[in-house]
Amino acid sequence: MATSRKALITGGTRGIGQAIAELLRADGHSVKSPDRTELDLALPGSVQAYLQNSTWQPDILINNAGLNKISSLESLPLEDWQAVLNVNLTAPFLLIQAMAGAMKHRRWGRIVNISSCYSIVSRAGRLAYSASKSGLNGLTRTAALELAPHNVLVNAICPGFVETDMTRQNNDAAQIEALRAQVPLGRLAQPDEIAAFVAFLVSDRNTYITGQVIPIDGGFLCQ
């Protein structure tokens, strides 16, 4: 029987995060996913306050929440740039920094950062998003090196095009069809397909994969 662990997932109420939360609960884990009133990832002060007041010490941390502000280079407002970096990069850093100590003490921990295929390639209008997710990949690799001696494994996954609210929000029907046409498998991923791999990475079955940035994209990046 798998060991029951405590897991913290950001953005766990919809899309990929919800699928991960449901699967981990089905696997017997205790899962917490704070809403924005408890933890506003766009505000570093809110993250720090949450960490100061929380007694939850997770064995598993999944930084899933993401923000994408679509704008050209020349018209991107500084506040939008900062908001995207706060949610996608600064908040994961603060959460990892705060939670790594207890994981090291227990000599067991699993951290998965949900990055994006747009951290490897990009697309017009995704300046802040691509920059933040590329930074998240670097954070993943360095954290993995520092935490490896303590049996804390840190990885990132890079989903391609997934059937989520964010995809529908940022693309109209014609654009979604164009995305589908770029995927060799001929379809967008379902959130539970992404969740299945995350569940493996945070399980006791994963004993040797760390520091990796792994695309899950239906072959998109092979072209």
Residue 168's pLDDT band, with cuts at 50, 70 and 90, is confident
* CATH classification at residue 175: 3.40.50.720
| Catalytic residue status for 208 | no
Any domain includes 219: no
The answer to whether residue 218 is domain-embedded is no
Q: Does residue 223 lie within any of the structural domains?
A: no
Residue 156 confidence (pLDDT): 99
- Tell me whether residue 220 is in a domain: no
Give which of 61, 48, 11 is closest to 191, Cα–Cα: 11
pLDDT at 137: 98
Given a cut of 70, is residue 1 above it in pLDDT?
no
134 vs 142: CA distance, rounded Å: 13
What pLDDT does 171 receive?
Answer: 85
Q: Is 145 a domain residue?
A: yes
Instruction: Give residue 169's pLDDT band: very low, low, confident or very high (50, 70, 90).
Output: confident
Percent of the chain exceeding pLDDT 70 equals: 99
Strands 6-9 and 30-32: parallel
Confidence of residue 2 (pLDDT cuts 50, 70, 90): low
Q: Report whether pLDDT(166) > 90.
A: no
What is the model's pLDDT at position 81? 98
pLDDT digits 0-9 by tens, 87-109: 999 999 999 999 999 999 999 99
- 138 lies in which domain range? 6-213
Confidence of residue 172 (pLDDT cuts 50, 70, 90): confident
Choose among 87, 205, 79: nearest CA to 153.
205
Give the tens place of pLDDT for each residue, 111-145.
Answer: 999 999 999 999 999 999 999 999 999 999 999 99
Residue 204 lies inside a defined structural domain of this protein: yes
Could you give the number of structural domains in the chain?
A: 1
The mean pLDDT of 4-11, rounded to a whole number, is: 97
Residue 1 in domain: no
Sheet holding 30-32, edge to edge: 30-32, 6-9, 60-63, 109-114, 152-159, 213-216
Q: Kindly report, residue by residue over 138-156, the tens digit of the pLDDT.
A: 999 999 999 999 999 999 9
Residue 73 lies in a domain: yes
